[in-house]
Structure formats: C-alpha cells, structure tokens
A and B are shown apart, each in its own frame.
Chain A
Amino acid sequence: MGRALAILALIAAAGCARSPLVQAPAPPARDELVVLLPGPDGSTGALSVTHEGHQQTLDAPYAAARVARQGQLEDAGRLAPEQIRRSFEQALAAQPLRPATFLLYFLENSDEFTPESKLEIPKIFAEIAAHPSPQIVVVGHTDRVGTVPYNDALSLRRAERVQAQLVQLGIPAAQIQAAGRGERAPLVPTEDEVAEPRNRRVEITVR
C-alpha cells in the first residue's frame, strides 16, 4: 500500500515536471567567433564557415563570422587586430615555433653535399636547438625521369641516405624521420621524362 502511494506520488511529480506551467530551461546561449588572420608574409587564405545550412566565406585579413545569442550566423565584418590579439592572447602565445625548411643538393653522382649545402648544416643545428622536443623530417624528391613508383622509392632512398648522414653528424636517430615525395613536387615544373638536377633534392624540415 505504502509502495503504491509512493509510485502514485512519483507519477504525479513527473506529470508536474512536464506541465506547461514549468518553463523549460533556455537553450544555452552561444558565442562562437571565427577570425581569419594574415600570415607572416601578409598573405591570407580562406575559410568556409557553415552553420545550419548557411555558409559564409572569409577571405580577407581579420574578416570574422559569429554565432551569437540569436543562434544565427552573422557576418562580423573585419575586426581590429589589437582586439583579436587581446581576446586570443594566451592561445596565440602558446603557438609552437613554425617549422623551418632547408634544401640540400648533392654533387653530381655523389653522396656528398654541394659546398653551398654544407653551409646549411650549422643553420639546421641552430634550428633544432630552438625547438622544444625537436622533430626532423627528411623528404627526398626526384625529377620526372622514370615511373612514379620508381621515383617514390628513389626519393625515399635519397632521404634515408641524408638521414644516416645527419645521424653521423650527431642528431639522435629517434628525432629523424625520412619520407619520399617522388616526382610529385618539383621545384622546376617539367614535362615527364625530362632530367632536371634542381628537382633532385632533399628537403629537411625542423619542427
């Protein structure tokens, strides 16, 4: 009997909670903001901002879009750089050091770097010293002589050779990774099967 009453009371309470007299809590107020920034060289990319089927493109420095209390996507115009630096101060200050890239060339038919490339080595060491928990990525490239799979393998071999040389120079092996891009990313675009020494290179990124 007592239990039946308790169940009835529970049902009644549940009924009250559902009654229109009790107001549902307001949906949480939103304040979402997106701002496109110029890069260090002043160039600006683009962002597409999508919200409930509406889309807006940001493609100018400091262009901004916002979803505020009303819950709709608004064009926020262009914000003042000082305001953004203030609002995002700590996130911007925690940005890791930008990766730096060095290009190394070999003497013809040799494992030895060109004299110019040898001068790059101390700069690479200085860059490594500047990065917390440094990672070095060695990426090999070829020209377009040969097939794509052949050049993928060749570029990886080139990268691994430089990786071994860097280890001999004193960089811990665990910090270095090798990758090959084959003929996909030529410095100097050419037709297929054209020999181009400037494309036979190795890029070292320190991040």
Chain B
Amino acid sequence: MRQGWTIVLALAVLGVAAVEAADEVGRVKIVRGSVTVQRAGAEVAATVGMPLQQGDVIVTGRDGSAGVTFNDDSLLSVGPDSVLAIDHFVFDSTTHAGRFETSLRRGTLSAVSGKLAKQSPDAMKVRTPSIILGVRGTEFVVRAGPVVP
C-alpha cells in the first residue's frame, strides 16, 4: 500500500514537471546581482536557464539586472530596483498569432520585440502604472517612477 502511494506521488511530481516544461514562455538568460521570480505566492532566486511562465513576476534588487528571451524571440531585460510582471504570453509557432502583455511596475526595461509584434501590431503591449504601449516594433526602453531626484 505504501509503495502504491509512493508511485502515485512520483507520477504526480512527474506530471507537474511535464506541465511546467510545456508552460515555458521564456527563459532567463542573464542574471546579475539579486534577482528573484515570484510565482504563485512563492519567491525563488532566478538562475540562468530558468524557464518562466505566464504570471511570473521578475524582481531585481539594488544591484540586480536580468535578461529573458521569450518563445517568440522577444528579448526583455530589466535594470536594478525593477519589477516586471509577465501578465499574458500566448504564441502559436505555426501561425505566429498570440498575445504578449507585460507590466513594468517599477524600474527600467529594455525591449526588442519578436515574432508576435511582427505578425500583429495589437499582439504586444507593455504597461507602466500610467501608460499603455502598443508595440509595432522593435526596440525601446521604458522607465517607471518613482521620481529620480
């Protein structure tokens, strides 16, 4: 009986791992200083190679910066003291249709748009606390307060 439960548990763990791999929307490529990822109420240190999911929030400390490559070849990187939420990411690799929405709640962001923005001018949006950016392509930077003295 105990052995039976162990197998069920192992299968459950494997199942979760498989789902996570399938849910990968982008991958952490660069980590400098303190960088964490908030996911479902937990917070883990970001590492190079870490798969990211829709809903993840990237947080950098005073000495932190991080770069992520998304599945549609978009590149997003954040500087120190930044908070970036991946609100939505859906990408069809056959049609290139989908939706990519992020929110820069604080800090600095550098972006190079990828296949989603190229396919449809409405697919990619970046929000700050008071602005909505519609991304027609391709490279830009964004800063979201507080006021720099």
Using CB atoms and an 8 Å cutoff, list the residues of chain A in contact with chain B.
28-39, 43-52, 58, 65, 67, 69, 71, 73, 84, 87-99, 131-133, 135, 137, 139, 152, 177, 179-182, 184, 205, 207
Q: Which residue of A31, A39, A132 contacts B148 across the interface (Cβ within 8 Å)?
A: A31
CB-based contact B110/A132 at 8 Å: no
Using CB atoms and an 8 Å cutoff, list the residues of chain B in contact with chain A.
27-30, 32, 48-49, 65-69, 73, 75, 77-80, 82, 93-96, 107-110, 112-114, 117, 128-148
Q: How far is A119 from B65 in the complex, measured between Cα atoms in Å?
A: 37
B110, B132, B144 — which one has the most chain A CB atoms within 10 A of its CB?
B110
Question: In the complex, what residues of A have CB within 8 A of residue B141's CB?
Answer: 34-35, 37, 84, 87-88, 91-92
* Chain B, residue nearest A40 (CB): B139
Q: How far is A48 from B112 in the complex, measured between Cα atoms in Å?
A: 15
Q: Given A91-B79, A94-B66, are A30 and B130 neighbors across the interface (CB < 8 Å)?
A: yes
Q: A47-B140, A92-B77, A97-B29 are in contact. List 4 more A-B contacts (CB 8 A).
A: A47-B135, A51-B131, A89-B79, A137-B93
Q: Which residue of A87, A94, A180, A182 contacts B30 across the interface (Cβ within 8 Å)?
A: A94
CB-based contact B79/A35 at 8 Å: no
Q: Given A32-B130, A34-B133, are A94 and B67 neighbors across the interface (CB < 8 Å)?
A: yes
Q: How far is A171 from B144 in the complex, measured between Cα atoms in Å?
A: 41
CB-based contact B147/A88 at 8 Å: no
CB-based contact B68/A90 at 8 Å: no
CB-based contact A132/B136 at 8 Å: no
Q: How far is A90 from B30 in the complex, measured between Cα atoms in Å?
A: 12
Question: In the complex, what residues of A have CB within 8 A of residue B94's CB?
Answer: 152, 179-182, 184
